[in-house]
A and B are shown apart, each in its own frame.
Chain A
């Protein structure tokens, strides 16, 4: 898995499929899921979406992680719909969301970030005509993804430093050191991008 818990290396046919057709397929499939209003069909879609995971040979825990992350939202939706509407509506909404997330997860676990970025760069190429660099758009997306673990680790270090000094959990007091650290990291990252000639 990569730093964002997305791509899982493999050689299954979904892994080998180019990013473009995969994203197009995802778009069509999710549209189909969201247009489905029969509870039985929605349940079938969830089963089918989950059933695609073994094809990719990714570990079951990846599927479990996707479901676990969504569970609180599903619970809220189901409870709210059961209170305000009827169970069929709860199944359609919660099931539709689950199927859509499972399908999206399937694309992300089988597609490298670089392939996604190359696709986004191609899609953004028309923007070159109006002075927006598609390469920079792709670089910004790459950096956004790169920054997630960097921010998480900076937060962890600031919190640990705070605790190590016996000052408790820190809470809002961590904001200033965290921002200072992130600004410093951002500056270093900017220098690295320039030094590697990637901002040209």
Chain B
């Protein structure tokens, strides 16, 4: 569970989050809002990438300010542009590097890598240059590289922004089937219909916190106003 307690954050003079108090405990949580509404800052606070200027963020009662290392193992993070998330030249190497700090044997690392690649439709791409994968495959690789470390929570910051409809559906299905708690930021509202809870952010404030249908309606009305 992730808890925001009186969280406030600003970039220079621009306040991007105003006194956020939240408990994120549901299995599937969506976050929507206009560009610049503070979604990404909120998401990045979930695994300590950004520390709040005021207040605190707790992940399973661990403070992101004090226990960043443990939190980064608990919370996996997927970025909008898979290209900047891929570190190693080949597919298998990129997945395996995430396990390099886990003290696993070479054979166990290989086993887990093979298994996760197969599960995400990348079997047979082990030695394929990651750079040359399609956009959808790159995003699946980014997901696989995070999931191989078995995080308890997965935060996805607009993972489908650069994808076509087919790949959006592949990513949606993958997220749907995960056992982990998933926090998804997206502009693809259809992805959120089966979620447990959706937050709408506007100018750094949570303006709606509800079931998907009413929250999406609120957001659409907000965008049309």
Contact = CB atoms under 8 A, between A and B. Distances in A.
Interface stretch (A1-9, A79-87, A171-179): A1-9
A146 B89 contact: yes
B132 interface: yes
Interface stretch (B13-21, B93-101, B164-172, B184-192): B93-101
B101 A200 contact: yes
Nearest to A145: B89
Interface in A1-36: 1-4, 6-7, 9
A7 B84 CA distance: 21
A59 interface: no
Contacts of A114: 88, 90, 93, 96-97
Given A197-B101, A198-B97, A198-B101, A146 B88 contact: yes
Contact of A196 (B69, B129, B145): B145
Interface stretch (A70-78, A99-107, A158-166, A186-194): A186-194
Interface in B69-109: 69, 72-73, 76-77, 79, 81, 83-90, 93, 96-98, 100-101
Contacts of A189: 84-85, 87
Interface string B50-78: 00000000000000000001001100110
B79 A188 contact: yes
B131 interface: yes
B69 A142 contact: no
A149 interface: yes
B103 to A, nearest CB: 13
B177 interface: no
Nearest to A200: B69
Contacts of A1: 129
A195 B69 contact: no
Contacts of B44: 191
B84 A185 contact: yes
The main secondary structure of chain B at its interface with chain A is mixed
A125 interface: no
B87 A192 contact: yes
B160 interface: no
B144 interface: no
Contact of B69 (A4, A185, A188, A197): A197
Nearest to B145: A196
Interface string A123-149: 000000000000100000011011001
A4 B132 CA distance: 11
A114 B87 CA distance: 11
Given A114-B93, A114-B97, A196-B87, 9 more contacts: A2-B89, A113-B88, A142-B97, A146-B86, A149-B131, A188-B79, A191-B79, A195-B76, A198-B87
Interface of A: 1-4, 6-7, 9, 112-114, 135, 142-143, 145-146, 149-150, 153, 185, 188-189, 191-198, 200
23 contacts: A3-B132, A7-B127, A9-B127, A113-B89, A113-B93, A114-B88, A114-B96, A142-B88, A188-B79, A189-B84, A191-B49, A192-B85, A193-B87, A195-B72, A195-B76, A195-B77, A196-B72, A196-B85, A196-B87, A196-B97, A196-B145, A197-B69, A198-B101
